């Protein structure tokens, strides 16, 4: 069984920063890609950022230049540094891991940006 534990969400003012973390544990033998999705009220879940085992990254256009995804392969952990946050970034953020040829999701962490 694989567990994803997320942390780092919260409430900040516009222009502020947050750092999300997601640690994968359990019977996970190989991790390919790790990433973050988000879902705002009344909207579909969307990709925010993704990083492969080789370090290649891709970002949603709306967060390019403001968010940075990184990973620590030794710790099976992925991070999302979010700067210059905007009210439009308010959403539940979900960790996503492609490992053991399966997709795993975290429980979600709330990020709220006040104007």
CA dist., res. 61 & res. 49, Å (int)? 10
Q: What is the pLDDT of residues 19-74, one digit of tens each?
A: 999 999 988 888 899 999 999 999 999 999 999 999 999 999 999 999 999 999 99
- State the average pLDDT over residues 93-113: 95
Q: What is the DSSP letter of 86?
A: -
Contacts of 84 (CB under 8 A, 6+ apart): 15, 17, 66
Q: How many CB atoms are located within 10 Å of the residue 66 CB?
A: 15
In the numeric block, the tokens 């996970």 are attached to 28
């Amino acid at each position: 069984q694989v567990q994803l534990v997320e942390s780092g969400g919260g409430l900040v003012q516009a222009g502020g920063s947050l750092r999300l973390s997601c640690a994968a544990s359990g019977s996970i033998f190989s991790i390919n890609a790790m990433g973050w999705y988000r879902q705002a009220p009344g909207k579909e879940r969307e990709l925010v950022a993704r990083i492969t085992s080789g370090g290649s990254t891709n970002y949603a256009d709306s967060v390019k230049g403001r968010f940075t995804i990184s990973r620590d392969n030794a710790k099976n952990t992925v991070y999302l540094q979010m700067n210059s946050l905007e009210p439009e970034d308010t959403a539940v953020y979900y960790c996503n891991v492609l490992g053991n040829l399966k997709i795993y999701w975290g429980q979600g962490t709330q990020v709220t940006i006040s104007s």
